[in-house]
Chains A and B, each alone.
Chain A
């Protein structure tokens, strides 16, 4: 094996609230290696990388770079030692140009002033060297997500990074963009860089990484050569049990239409038609999936359906009633359950207890009331039942939701939404960033509810596997329109889907007839 360029020895990190994020983790990365770091959410991957990058301090442990012990007090130290990090959430300044973003912190100067032209030149040089197709003069706000990621990588490279940390880089990319990224990563590797690749997606890990280190609950489960592993054995190491990646389900018996979206147009603050004459129907007992590159109207569609955003023209019928001008509350009364895209913003009130969050939509119902007051006994009883049913790992119903892990927070959300008695579930990114076990439970419940209770479901997800596995009917959205429709989601390949998502292909209305 090639020389080890990085070694993290016995790293232990305990947060002030007593949460053990990392415990005695040791791992090393070789020269010219793409090394995977995998684990469920909350396993401590990001924390470990933040320690390496100097963003967090650790109580114990040492970091060696090229065999020399180094202290990482802040990101500057890490950058000086040749470590670069591409964060999961981009650290970009949208109003500035690519060149300004890339050179920020190491700005070229002329006569004591910032030299924009030199910044453009430096950026373009390094971009050309690694085949990164970006224009250094463009504003970052005008770039696609894939291009923004390249700007992030360029930022690290221009500061001389030899070890590149990529935190879930493919989560936001289309299959084609992922392919491009992989080629660039391999090129970087061949040029003498080492890459630490954090991912949930096992097939990606198997494809481009030579070795993989597995974390589980903040502990290291060892480093393996990927050639000795299969996806199944890797997932077993991650969660300690076999995760079924397939969902067993019978064909749906689609009944009467529950949701009818009719020619909806929504225009955003910049005058862009974010929903451009969207029409389709969701019927009783079926799960309709929406695939698409993020930012093609999915968020706006979900805002319109749940009543948080208005629309210019068109109409939406829910259980035969128009939702136009109705409040979120009204629409919920009409039969909506909503799993919001960003659970911390719209899904839960983080500082309130599990109990409060669960009864938030029903505390005023007669069964939970004693005249003017709330019926605590009844509420406690019901909430305890849900905590048990949905296996919410917590200290009790009065624990504030923010103390829980991402997966358990989402369980609180679904405990509320799945039990509200609604016949339409709007699930926007229901399993984003949560552990495999919870994700599986949520997906199965969505399918089960559609089969046994006849709920209509709209599943919007950036995780292609999820939309392909869970949905019955699949629609592809691009630029606020439906550009592709498939009667059976699980028979569509990711490649076909990618072509529609990226606009290589587009179906005509006739082709999609009967599928909308």
Chain B
């Protein structure tokens, strides 16, 4: 116990809080993309577990394409690879009529091994490209004037370009779902595919579109992992972030804004793990657990709240209309 107390005290004392918040926002970036991708799929009636694998493929794609023409080609490559992986999953499950869950699990496993295999073919390395391939980084952008605001300026306005893009994507996905025809059709397919089909909307086509959009978002998430979080590809570097994004979406019932906020929360727990790792003497294995434990706990808590609310309403003890 004494050890823990001491470790905790030094940890808290040494934390640079501004850096901590900035890290949290930074680490939330891929989660926001992943959660938005999951939300698009979910609104179209599909639970996309393949986000993890899609991100991993994109992360490798980013590094490889960047070798050919720099950071922007890398970003484009990541998006293309994300799109392609979305198409692979949708082709299997929509055209090939395979079970979506099994397809996604298979895809994730294939991505784990496949990315290492391709990395080995290209570099002869099996764990990381850091020594063998040139590092590229998506530029950090400091927004003039805003960056000078104390605290907030550092936390929000001196971030990677992709972090701003993530914030914009939240709005874009919301706009797409609420204001466009594709969005209306997507929601209609998700709510009642038969009804959509009966008025001539192709459920398969909408499914492909949903996977295309989520593929692009996963591409950005992957690019962030290998060109912003770190500047190389590493075996299994997504490390469950796709699943965490999926949980964030689930907590917010596929609402884009809510999903982004939940992602931010997970970003904080990730930052806590990262910061404590360097600042304290806690065993790292224990600290690395934080984001995942936070995920499980928050899902349980959110669902408990839902259940309790429902119980109270059913029992009639809640104050409700009529």
Residue positions of A touching B, CB distance < 8 A: 55, 74-76, 79, 85, 87, 90-96, 100, 104-107, 109, 112-114, 155, 159, 265, 267-273, 310, 312-313
Q: Does B214 contact A (CB under 8 A)?
A: no
- Closest 3 A-B residue pairs measured CB to CB? A271-B320, A105-B199, A91-B195
- Is the Cβ of B181 less than 8 Å from the Cβ of A109? yes
A96 in contact with B200 given A269-B310, A271-B321, A312-B315 (CB within 8 Å): no
Q: How far is the CA of A312 from the CA of B313 in the complex (A)?
A: 10
Q: Does B9 contact A (CB under 8 A)?
A: no
Of chain A, the residue at the smallest CB distance from B185 is: A104
B residues in contact with A155, CB < 8 Å: 199
- Is the Cβ of A79 less than 8 Å from the Cβ of B199? yes
Of chain B, the residue at the smallest CB distance from A76 is: B200
Q: Does B201 contact A (CB under 8 A)?
A: yes
A-B contact count (CB 8 A): 84
The listed residue (B184, B196, B316) touching A267 by CB distance below 8 A is B316
Q: Does B192 contact A (CB under 8 A)?
A: yes
A residues in contact with B318, CB < 8 Å: 271
Of chain B, the residue at the smallest CB distance from A55 is: B198
Q: Does B86 contact A (CB under 8 A)?
A: no
A92 in contact with B313 given A85-B198, A114-B183, A155-B199 (CB within 8 Å): no
- Is the Cβ of A75 less than 8 Å from the Cβ of B200? yes
- Is the Cβ of A114 less than 8 Å from the Cβ of B191? no
- Is the Cβ of B200 less than 8 Å from the Cβ of A113? no
Of chain A, the residue at the smallest CB distance from B321 is: A271
A residues in contact with B180, CB < 8 Å: 112-114
B residues in contact with A310, CB < 8 Å: 314
- Is the Cβ of B188 less than 8 Å from the Cβ of A104? yes
- Is the Cβ of B322 less than 8 Å from the Cβ of A272? yes
Q: Does B187 contact A (CB under 8 A)?
A: yes
Of chain B, the residue at the smallest CB distance from A115 is: B181
B residues in contact with A76, CB < 8 Å: 200
| B34–chain A nearest beta-carbon distance, Å | 25
A residues in contact with B201, CB < 8 Å: 104-105
- Is the Cβ of B199 less than 8 Å from the Cβ of A104? yes
- Is the Cβ of A113 less than 8 Å from the Cβ of B181? yes
A271 in contact with B313 given A92-B192, A93-B192 (CB within 8 Å): yes
- Is the Cβ of A75 less than 8 Å from the Cβ of B179? no
Q: Does B197 contact A (CB under 8 A)?
A: yes
B residues in contact with A85, CB < 8 Å: 198
- Is the Cβ of B195 less than 8 Å from the Cβ of A312? no
Q: Does B194 contact A (CB under 8 A)?
A: yes
Q: How far is the CA of A118 from the CA of B260 in the complex (A)?
A: 32
- Is the Cβ of B313 less than 8 Å from the Cβ of A94? no
Of chain A, the residue at the smallest CB distance from B189 is: A93
B residues in contact with A271, CB < 8 Å: 313, 316, 318, 320-322
Extra contacts besides A90-B195, A104-B196 (10): CB < 8 Å: A92-B192, A92-B195, A104-B199, A104-B201, A109-B181, A114-B181, A269-B313, A271-B322, A312-B315, A313-B316
The listed residue (B191, B197, B310, B316) touching A75 by CB distance below 8 A is B197
Q: How far is the CA of A104 from the CA of B316 in the complex (A)?
A: 38
Of chain A, the residue at the smallest CB distance from B313 is: A271
- Is the Cβ of A312 less than 8 Å from the Cβ of B316? yes
A265 in contact with B188 given A91-B195, A104-B196 (CB within 8 Å): no
We find that the number of chain B residues with CB closer than 8 angstroms to chain A is 27
Bitwise interface map of B from 189 to 217 toward A, beta carbon under 8 Å scored 1, else 0: 00110111111110000000000000000
The listed residue (A91, A96, A312) touching B314 by CB distance below 8 A is A312
B residues in contact with A75, CB < 8 Å: 197-200
- Is the Cβ of B191 less than 8 Å from the Cβ of A93? yes
A residues in contact with B321, CB < 8 Å: 271
Of chain A, the residue at the smallest CB distance from B319 is: A271
- Is the Cβ of B200 less than 8 Å from the Cβ of A95? no
Q: How far is the CA of A267 from the CA of B317 in the complex (A)?
A: 10
- Is the Cβ of B315 less than 8 Å from the Cβ of A100? no
Of chain A, the residue at the smallest CB distance from B175 is: A113
B residues in contact with A270, CB < 8 Å: 313, 320
Most buried by A among B181, B197, B198, B314: B198
- Is the Cβ of B200 less than 8 Å from the Cβ of A74? yes
- Is the Cβ of B310 less than 8 Å from the Cβ of A267? no
Bitwise interface map of B from 118 to 152 toward A, beta carbon under 8 Å scored 1, else 0: 00000000000000000000000000000000000
A residues in contact with B187, CB < 8 Å: 93, 95-96
- Is the Cβ of B200 less than 8 Å from the Cβ of A91? no
B residues in contact with A94, CB < 8 Å: 191
Q: How far is the CA of A312 from the CA of B317 in the complex (A)?
A: 10
- Is the Cβ of B184 less than 8 Å from the Cβ of A104? yes
Q: How far is the CA of A502 from the CA of B63 in the complex (A)?
A: 68
Q: How far is the CA of A96 from the CA of B315 in the complex (A)?
A: 29
Of chain A, the residue at the smallest CB distance from B184 is: A114
22 contacts between A and B (CB under 8 A): A55-B198, A75-B198, A75-B200, A79-B200, A93-B188, A93-B196, A96-B184, A96-B191, A104-B185, A104-B188, A104-B199, A105-B201, A113-B181, A114-B181, A114-B184, A267-B316, A271-B313, A271-B316, A271-B320, A273-B316, A312-B315, A313-B316
Q: How far is the CA of A270 from the CA of B309 in the complex (A)?
A: 10
| A169–chain B nearest beta-carbon distance, Å | 16
| B308–chain A nearest beta-carbon distance, Å | 13
B residues in contact with A273, CB < 8 Å: 316, 322
B residues in contact with A267, CB < 8 Å: 313-316
The listed residue (B179, B192, B315) touching A91 by CB distance below 8 A is B192
Of chain A, the residue at the smallest CB distance from B309 is: A269
- Is the Cβ of B200 less than 8 Å from the Cβ of A105? yes
B residues in contact with A312, CB < 8 Å: 314-316
| A142–chain B nearest beta-carbon distance, Å | 13
- Interface of chain B residues 289 through 311 with chain A (CB within 8 A): 310
| A115–chain B nearest beta-carbon distance, Å | 9
Q: How far is the CA of A174 from the CA of B198 in the complex (A)?
A: 26
- Is the Cβ of B313 less than 8 Å from the Cβ of A100? no
Of chain B, the residue at the smallest CB distance from A271 is: B320
Q: How far is the CA of A87 from the CA of B316 in the complex (A)?
A: 36
| A124–chain B nearest beta-carbon distance, Å | 19
| A8–chain B nearest beta-carbon distance, Å | 20
Q: How far is the CA of A93 from the CA of B195 in the complex (A)?
A: 7
- Is the Cβ of B314 less than 8 Å from the Cβ of A269? yes
A residues in contact with B196, CB < 8 Å: 93, 104
| B239–chain A nearest beta-carbon distance, Å | 36
Q: How far is the CA of A112 from the CA of B180 in the complex (A)?
A: 8
- Is the Cβ of A114 less than 8 Å from the Cβ of B179? yes
Of chain A, the residue at the smallest CB distance from B193 is: A91
| A151–chain B nearest beta-carbon distance, Å | 11
| B299–chain A nearest beta-carbon distance, Å | 20
| B203–chain A nearest beta-carbon distance, Å | 11
Q: How far is the CA of A154 from the CA of B201 in the complex (A)?
A: 17
- Is the Cβ of B179 less than 8 Å from the Cβ of A113? yes
Q: How far is the CA of A95 from the CA of B253 in the complex (A)?
A: 14
| B219–chain A nearest beta-carbon distance, Å | 24
Q: How far is the CA of A386 from the CA of B316 in the complex (A)?
A: 45
Q: How far is the CA of A267 from the CA of B312 in the complex (A)?
A: 10
| A478–chain B nearest beta-carbon distance, Å | 15
A residues in contact with B200, CB < 8 Å: 74-76, 79, 105
Q: How far is the CA of A310 from the CA of B315 in the complex (A)?
A: 9
Q: How far is the CA of A114 from the CA of B185 in the complex (A)?
A: 10
- Is the Cβ of A96 less than 8 Å from the Cβ of B188? yes
A91 in contact with B313 given A74-B200, A105-B201, A271-B321 (CB within 8 Å): no
Of chain B, the residue at the smallest CB distance from A89 is: B194
Of chain A, the residue at the smallest CB distance from B196 is: A104
Most buried by B among A85, A100, A113, A310: A113
- Is the Cβ of B316 less than 8 Å from the Cβ of A265? yes
